[in-house]
Chain A
Amino acid sequence: MTTMTSWTVANSRKLARQERRRRLGPLGMLTHLALLVWTLLTVVPILWTFLASVKSEDEIFGDAWSLPAALRWDNFARAWEQAHIGQYMLNSVIVVSFSTFGTMLIGSMAAYVLARYPFRGNRAFYLLFVSGLAFPVYLALTPLFFVVQNMGNVPLVGPFIGLNTHAGLVLVYIAYSMPFTVFFLSAFFRTLPTAVGEAAMVDGASHTRVFFQIMLPMAKPGIISITIFNVLGQWNQYQLPLVLLQERDKWVLTQGIADISTAAGYDQDWSALFAALTLAILPMLVVYTVFQRQIQSGLTSGALK
């Protein structure tokens, strides 16, 4: 009797599952359709841009979806040379290399001390850094412009860190990356075990050495996450360079791209604009495809902390 019931139950469950699967059939199709639609929405504008980057001016102003008669690679040459995309990209690489390195170095130092060393004022410093997370940067924009301008008057180093200097922008990037970097990394340092560091101290290692040779390597996952976060954030920054770099030859890539589309007006070189866009997008696409796992987990763990 009991075996009979359990058989019936199992069987009816199986039937129910089959029934459900059949009912979900068309729904399953719809889900695939929805995913496909969003894939196209994501990919098509980008592919369309790539396509336009090898078209001639006439083809761009003809049918929006026509294929190019010939691949005009000279569009890229003009974007690189005449529209200075090469120069802007180099500027971006220089600024972001230094600013990310600086952010990670002094950000992790501050986070480590605040996370692991109780001292008077520790909490106040921590809150000072973290409070920056709550403020919109636009509030500080005007005074920041004058702070950087005044930095130009500092004796000796002034000419290197004032307005229209890359080093000046690097310092600003580092400062504005502090809130999130310190917030994230000090939470991370707090989770690390204390024993290894203490053992090294007993063996006579200095505080500094413990930090660089033990804690920093142990914090590698957190460091990688936040480095990705900062590289992308600083590479994609537009507002701060717009205010602080007003000389054309100092511009970073985002400024250069935004300018080609707005400033030129009627004598616009549209083919070169699409080529420039492609030059800005393609490297990101390649880097992202190679490191997509680290980038996705880096950015989302950054958001969830």
Chain B
Amino acid sequence: MIFNRYRRGLFITSFLAAPVILYLVYVISPYIQAFYIAMTDWRGVTATPRFIGLDNFERLLGDGTFWKAVSHNGALLLLLPLITIVIALFFAFLLNVGGPQGLTGIRGSKFYRVVFFFPQVLAVAVVAVLFQQVFRPDGSGMLNGPLMALGIRPIGFLSDPDVAFWSVLGVMVWQAVGFYVVLFSAGLASIPRDMFEAAQIDGAGRLSLFFRITLPLLWDTVQVAWVYLGILALDVFAIVWVMTDQHGGPDFSTTVMAAEIYRNAFQYFRFGYASALGVVMFLFTVGFAILSLRLSRRERIEY
């Protein structure tokens, strides 16, 4: 018996040792160090860090570029989930419920699901380069070419500070929609068919089928989607860094928190300051997580 317990303990230890050590070294310890580094003036690889308390945070309050970045993340946090979820719900409904018979979904729905999902499997960095070409400001761009042929002035999708942010948002929506169409389709598949049938027999049209049945029963999945897209909006980096001019748009018109952290750390070598920005980003993320947990505490519909 004692031998058995010893063997059990040995087994548990041997299975946990490698994952726990790797995780402590590469994940937990950097996160903890970041909070200390944020309170130092550490610059460059050779200089030794000096403790300066909350000075970095004080300086950060007056950092216009960083607050621009925060406002861009904030705008994405509102718009990206909203637009993506509306489009994806619309398509998921059409593909699964909204066919001409009302229940079957539209013809070719499998094909659409496969095609819509495709951008999801591409690397964000690759998508960024792809759209850099699509958005080219001269006649060689995929969009500006036809515009110029029609005699319309080319649009500076990435070079015009008023437009660049919307280009970033557009690409993010482009990449995300397919995933949520599939996600919502999976959610719809778990709703019993006879619910739709009963509603139809009672004379529900497609609109009320959507708003009275589909949306309420899909609400849990919509919340999951909202949280995922919110995290995506707070974490965005590669699209902005790779796609937009000067790694953050003309006059920082597209920059985001992650880009400013990377810029400060690995271009300006302000390690202390970059970590302070990281702490602020962390606070925003935790705030978002708490808020969404709070808001999603709502009665579930059982069926």
Residues of A within 8 A of B (CB): 13, 16, 20-21, 24, 27-28, 31-32, 34-35, 38-39, 41-46, 48-49, 52, 60-65, 106-107, 109-110, 112-114, 117, 119, 125, 128-129, 132, 134-145, 147-148, 171-172, 174-176, 178-179, 182, 206-208, 211, 232, 235-239, 242-243, 253-255, 257-258, 260-262, 273-274, 277, 280-281, 284-285, 287-289, 292, 295-297, 299-301, 303-304
Contact = CB atoms under 8 A, between A and B. Distances in A.
Nearest to B181: A38
Contact of A284 (B25, B122, B132, B237): B122
B68 interface: no
B62 to A, nearest CB: 21
B146 A107 contact: no
Interface stretch (B6-14, B52-60, B191-199, B295-303): B6-14
Given A42-B178, A304-B221, A280 B123 contact: yes
B80 interface: no
20 contacts: A13-B201, A21-B100, A27-B206, A42-B178, A63-B145, A106-B18, A138-B257, A143-B29, A147-B26, A171-B22, A171-B26, A178-B19, A179-B27, A238-B123, A243-B262, A253-B123, A254-B123, A296-B113, A296-B182, A301-B186
A262 B242 contact: yes
Given A38-B177, A45-B131, A65-B142, 5 more contacts: A64-B144, A110-B20, A138-B235, A211-B15, A304-B186
A242 to B, nearest CB: 8
A274 B224 contact: no
A132 to B, nearest CB: 5
A42 B242 contact: no
B278 A136 contact: yes
Main secondary structure of the interface of B (DSSP, over half): helix
A288 B118 contact: yes
Contacts of B136: 64
A136 B234 contact: yes
A20 B112 CA distance: 25
B44 interface: no
B17 to A, nearest CB: 9
Given A109-B19, A300-B183, A141 B262 contact: yes
Contacts of A42: 115-116, 118-119, 174, 178
A157 to B, nearest CB: 13
Contacts of B114: 289, 292
B82 interface: no
A120 to B, nearest CB: 10
A113 B118 contact: no
A281 B126 contact: yes
A206 B3 CA distance: 13
B23 A141 contact: no
Contact of B274 (A65, A142, A172, A206): A142
Interface centre among B122, B174, B274, B286 (most CB of A within 10 A): B122
Contact of B7 (A106, A175, A207, A261): A207
| 4 A-B pairs with least C-beta separation | A64-B145, A175-B26, A236-B123, A140-B30
A303 B94 contact: no
A154 to B, nearest CB: 11
B210 to A, nearest CB: 12
B182 A235 contact: no
Interface string B147-179: 001000000000000000000000000100111
A135 B26 CA distance: 13
Interface residues of B, number: 99
Contact of A32 (B106, B149, B289): B106
Given A34-B94, A253-B123, A274-B133, A243 B115 contact: no
B188 to A, nearest CB: 12
B282 A136 contact: yes
Contact of A261 (B129, B279, B289): B129
A128 B28 contact: yes
Contacts of B289: 134
Given A143-B30, A176-B27, A64 B139 contact: yes
Contacts of A112: 15
Nearest to B108: A35
Interface centre among A24, A113, A119, A141 (most CB of B within 10 A): A141
Interface centre among B138, B140, B141, B279 (most CB of A within 10 A): B140
A113 B121 contact: no
B64 interface: no
B130 A176 contact: no
Given A110-B16, A134-B286, A64 B140 contact: yes
A207 B16 CA distance: 13
A46 B11 CA distance: 50
B125 interface: yes
B30 A147 contact: yes
Given A64-B146, A171-B22, A257-B129, A303 B112 contact: no
